[in-house]
Structure 1
Amino acid sequence: MKRRDFLLSSGAAALGLAAAGRLLAQGPATQELVIQKAAYRFRDSITQGLVSLSPDAPPPVLRGRVGKPMRLAVTNQTPDYTAMHWHGLRIPNAMDGVPYLTQMPIAPGETFTYDFTPPDAGTYWYHPHCMTMAQMAHGLTGMMVIEEDSDTGFDSEETLNLRDFRLADDGSFLPYYTARGAARGGTHGNVLTTNWDQDPVYDHTAGSLVRLRIANTDTTRIYRLHLGAAQARIIAWDGHPVRQLLALPSADAPLYLGPGQRVDFALRMPEGEGQDVSVIAELPGRKTRIMAQLRSIGASLARDLRDLPPLPENPVALPDLDRADMLEFVFGWTPEGGAPNDGLCGSLGYSFWSINRTPWAGDAATGTGPLAVLKRGKSYVLRLRNESPNLHPIHLHGLVFVPIRSNRRALPPLLTDTALLLKDEVIDIALVADNPGDWAFHCHVIEHQKTGLAGYIRVT
């Protein structure tokens, strides 16, 4: 979309939003979110130049309730442009936070207010979609919890935001990407954190039932996770309840959690004071790493996992495979070079990757059409073909899909918004195109996204 066309259409939309704002004057309280520079102690020194919603803390867990309106006023106090995306939420297209596709970037000193009503409960997260690599690599990733409208039976909750940083010994930032990394699997950080801390310990009552929410908000790293010595089960995946019993991850069969993906566990705390449950990461080429520990304290509550009721289902339409059309998308290297035109939202200066052998021309490029046009209300099967040796977590905004087959492994039919493609893997996913708009479709290894592996799908 040309900038002039966007401004004309957004002006009309603004009038509608203003009217809606007057009607909602007695509605939800506005949550004020200020994107700003921050500092934090990771090792023995304080790291300056972070980006957060607080001057000295990681981005907070934002909370809402299913079916209840939310109003989030995002003010940009950095010198760069930005925009905020609410990863996994099926909300109106105008609130999705993708610059040039759904809104103009938020300039320094400006405020953009996001108004939406989340239709689904679950674990989600938020991050910028303008200056994406720079701002995410410097800390601007946070978790979002949309609570159910009924009691889920837990005694407490823990949220774990997994991500790493690239820091020198003195705490200063190393370059947040490399051309070599962008052209391969991505550039890993060297300081692994959970909620910006290393090896944190969180206390919960002995014998209690804890809802453990884990999100991978990293720009690159794929975690292979399992829980040490725990009574637990997986209850939700990428925000949506799991209706079948899934094998608990182990050291021999860890759970792969790619950038953008989330998993919820129901966990029973150990009986004894001081006993703990470890969240363990198996990292290729590195020592096994304990990302966090949950420690039992106090007298036991003697709860049982069987006390928990099933999580209420989210109102997701299931695809009709007998009437579904198939579309194919090929993810791989780009056959041509050139730097994307990302306007005010930053470019890494390279094109390494492509969808359907065409690299994304950039956020601000004109004349770039959708990868596909889907008819509203119709079912589709999208064939995702990875023609590279690298892994790609493919994320689709605004819609929910279900994997139905893979050429490399058995995939449980879990509702999701992000599919992790293995080397040479072909995955068929099915969905109902029930949310109109232009929806970003990209790899969530941000170096891949910003060097060509991106586009959008239009739902009419």
Structure 2
Amino acid sequence: MTFVSRRTLLKSAAVLSAYGAGLAVMPRLSQALAATDPVEIEALTGDVLLDGKQATRGVMRYALSGQTSTDPSPPILRARRGEAFKARLINRLDEPTTIHWHGIRLPNDQDGVPFVTQPHVYTGDRFDYAFSPPDAGTFWYHPHCNTLTQMGRGLAGVLVVEDERDPVFDGEVVLNLRDFRLGGDSQFIEQFKPREAAKTGTFGTLRTANWRPEPHYDVPAGGLVRVRILAADVTRIYNLKLAGAEAQIIAIDGHPLLERIPLDMAVVSPGQRLDLAVRVADSEGVEMVLEDIRPSTPKVVARFRAVGASLKRNLGDLGSLAENAGVEADLSNATEIPLLLSATAETAARDSICGTLGYSFWAINKVPYPGDTPDPTAPIAELKLGRTYLLNVENVTPHAHPIHLHGMNFKAISSNKREVQPLVSDTYLVLPDEKVQLALVADNPGDWVFHCHIIEHQKTGMTGYFRVT
């Protein structure tokens, strides 16, 4: 087993990799890419073995052009903070698509939302994205067109933004967590049920990490391993515990914690990311198990096995992650914006080229988003560039909503349900009956979508956008 350190990875200007089961770090590195060369990402449809029984037809996946791999799961893209990153989407699906770069503060026309920031990318067409990520951390990429079907069938990958000032780990594991909705014959079944979309959302039947049920990864005994976790599922909220090893939460949603938190149980909702520093067991062959304990019976997410002689590292040896930009809010001059998350009984969403579920179950400020449509839709609010705003989010429903803001970050200020840490983030899980204040500095001009990341909720009305001018 060859372990690739972060320092080695950072020798490339923009490193891309794909990963396979049983490997703790990026085992196959592509050649370094010049800053002027785009990473070519193909969106494809094909047959993939997901449940270990027989191939599932109609799986949608991302692949790097010109690279062959036995691993069909989405490639991990790597970029460096502050350096040019270019990606060319080549659409080989039978329908339009786009790429949204979740959590990245980028120019508005690179955000990947049809009818809001860019045109669709039709079958056979391509679209070039270019930006310099200002923050380091764990982010991701996925479509924003016919989202439930395309994400539900596989289109969601991890984007890692590196910083050479970050501490060196002895290994790295990247986990892309998601369900697939398959029947007993290994084929896709209906992606959603209306009665479930009107509640918590429709859960998948096959639970995977990196498109495999309960994958295992070899990690260096006694070493410090960075585990990057993405909740790419369209519905599931995870309650994660790690048995057999000591671990600390070092970053949430890509942003470093000022004070690391020992991992007891971490809640990660759709759209969110969690970075762990794991101190691997010393004895070779010892297994560590990451579990989701949210169901009545805990489910194994992934297994880690210690290999080799102990490196005898200590979590106290680990230096700090490089800081990202904070949210420097001027609360004394903040403008408050009410945001009511509620159910609705409005008329059905209109059909469009980016698809609709045909229902409106949810709303923001009592207005359900009409679907992905070219018809004019008013913004939730118009924000002035550079001003501070307090988003007063109130969830009057009995269900949780992971609310995601495109293109900017916010910081939790207060909640009526729990003590909040002033963490910089782009996604916040709003609990039932919770009232939370999120501070936002309108520092990025454009139209920025704001929506629930339970995709059935997004597609049935709980969506809107802010206009920053």
TM-score, reference length from structure 2 = 0.89
Alignment partner of 1:346 is 2:320? no
**1:120-135 residue pairs with structure 2 within 5 A?**
120-135=135-150
Per-residue deviation, residues 377-405 of structure 1 (Å, max 9, x unmatched): 11111011101111100000001111111
Alignment partner of 1:31 is 2:42? no
Is residue 204–residue 295 contact of structure 1 (8 Å, CA) maintained in 2?
Answer: yes
When residues 26 and 419 of structure 1 are mapped into structure 2, their CA distance, relative to the original with a 3 A threshold, is closer
Is residue 252–residue 273 contact of structure 2 (8 Å, CA) maintained in 1?
Answer: yes
CA distance in structure 2 between the aligned counterparts of 1:136 and 1:151, rounded to whole angstroms? 31
Q: Paired residue for 2:201, among 170, 183, 186?
A: 186
Per-residue deviation, residues 421-455 of structure 1 (Å, max 9, x unmatched): 11111111112110111000000000010011101
Higher helix share: 1
Is residue 217–residue 260 contact of structure 1 (8 Å, CA) maintained in 2?
Answer: yes
Aligned to 1:266: 277
Q: CA deviation at 1:151?
A: 4.4
Is residue 38–residue 49 contact of structure 1 (8 Å, CA) maintained in 2?
Answer: yes
CA distance in structure 1 between the aligned counterparts of 2:442 and 2:262, rounded to whole angstroms? 31
**1:235-274 residue pairs with structure 2 within 5 A?**
235-249=250-264, 254-274=265-285
Q: What is the one-letter code of the residue matched to 1:125? A: W
Q: What is the one-letter code of the residue matched to 1:175? A: E
Q: What is the one-letter code of the residue matched to 2:153? A: H
Per-residue deviation, residues 122-145 of structure 1 (Å, max 9, x unmatched): 000111000111100101111110
**1:420-431 residue pairs with structure 2 within 5 A?**
420-431=429-440
CA distance in structure 1 between the aligned counterparts of 2:445 and 2:37, rounded to whole angstroms? 27
Is residue 66–residue 147 contact of structure 1 (8 Å, CA) maintained in 2?
Answer: yes
CA distance in structure 2 between the aligned counterparts of 1:152 and 1:115, rounded to whole angstroms? 28
Aligned to 1:101: 116
Is residue 340–residue 452 contact of structure 1 (8 Å, CA) maintained in 2?
Answer: no
SS in 2 for 1:246: strand
Is residue 84–residue 131 contact of structure 2 (8 Å, CA) maintained in 1?
Answer: yes
Q: What is the one-letter code of the residue matched to 1:278? A: V
Q: Paired residue for 2:452, among 418, 439, 443?
A: 443
Alignment partner of 1:43 is 2:52? yes
SS in 1 for 2:466: strand
Alignment partner of 1:112 is 2:122? no
Is residue 339–residue 365 contact of structure 2 (8 Å, CA) maintained in 1?
Answer: yes
Aligned to 1:454: 463
Is residue 345–residue 360 contact of structure 2 (8 Å, CA) maintained in 1?
Answer: no
CA distance in structure 1 between the aligned counterparts of 2:416 and 2:52, rounded to whole angstroms? 44
CA distance in structure 2 between the aligned counterparts of 1:77 and 1:431, rounded to whole angstroms? 38
CA distance in structure 2 between the aligned counterparts of 1:151 and 1:310, rounded to whole angstroms? 7
Divergent runs of 4+, >3 A? 25-28
Q: What is the one-letter code of the residue matched to 2:205? A: N
Q: CA deviation at 1:29?
A: 2.1
Is residue 340–residue 360 contact of structure 1 (8 Å, CA) maintained in 2?
Answer: no
CA distance in structure 2 between the aligned counterparts of 1:297 and 1:205, rounded to whole angstroms? 5
Calculate percent identity across the aligned residue pairs.
46
**1:55-94 residue pairs with structure 2 within 5 A?**
57-94=72-109
Alignment partner of 1:282 is 2:279? no
Q: What is the one-letter code of the residue matched to 1:233? A: Q
CA distance in structure 1 between the aligned counterparts of 2:121 and 2:410, rounded to whole angstroms? 30
Q: Paired residue for 1:320, among 315, 322, 330?
A: 330
Is residue 392–residue 444 contact of structure 1 (8 Å, CA) maintained in 2?
Answer: yes
CA distance in structure 1 between the aligned counterparts of 2:419 and 2:48, rounded to whole angstroms? 42
Q: CA deviation at 1:190?
A: 1.0
Is residue 327–residue 411 contact of structure 2 (8 Å, CA) maintained in 1?
Answer: no
When residues 408 and 280 of structure 1 are mapped into structure 2, their CA distance, relative to the original with a 3 A threshold, is same
Alignment partner of 1:296 is 2:316? no
Alignment partner of 1:357 is 2:332? no
Aligned to 1:333: 343
Is residue 165–residue 321 contact of structure 2 (8 Å, CA) maintained in 1?
Answer: no
**RMSD of Structure 2 on Structure 1 (CA):** 1.4
CA distance in structure 2 between the aligned counterparts of 1:322 and 1:374, rounded to whole angstroms? 17
Q: CA deviation at 1:361?
A: 1.5
CA distance in structure 1 between the aligned counterparts of 2:313 and 2:205, rounded to whole angstroms? 39
Is residue 394–residue 442 contact of structure 1 (8 Å, CA) maintained in 2?
Answer: yes
Q: CA deviation at 1:245?
A: 3.5
Q: CA deviation at 1:247?
A: 4.3
Aligned to 2:21: none
TM-score, reference length from structure 1 = 0.91
CA distance in structure 1 between the aligned counterparts of 2:96 and 2:271, rounded to whole angstroms? 22
SS in 2 for 1:449: helix
Aligned to 1:12: none
Q: CA deviation at 1:26?
A: 7.1
SS in 1 for 2:148: helix
Is residue 335–residue 358 contact of structure 1 (8 Å, CA) maintained in 2?
Answer: no
Aligned to 1:155: 170
Task: State which drifts further: 309-318 or 121-130.
Answer: 309-318
Q: What is the one-letter code of the residue matched to 2:98? A: A
Aligned residues: 430
Q: What is the one-letter code of the residue matched to 1:454? A: T
Per-residue deviation, residues 191-235 of structure 1 (Å, max 9, x unmatched): 100000011110011011101100100000111111113211110
SS in 2 for 1:394: strand
Q: CA deviation at 1:412?
A: 1.5
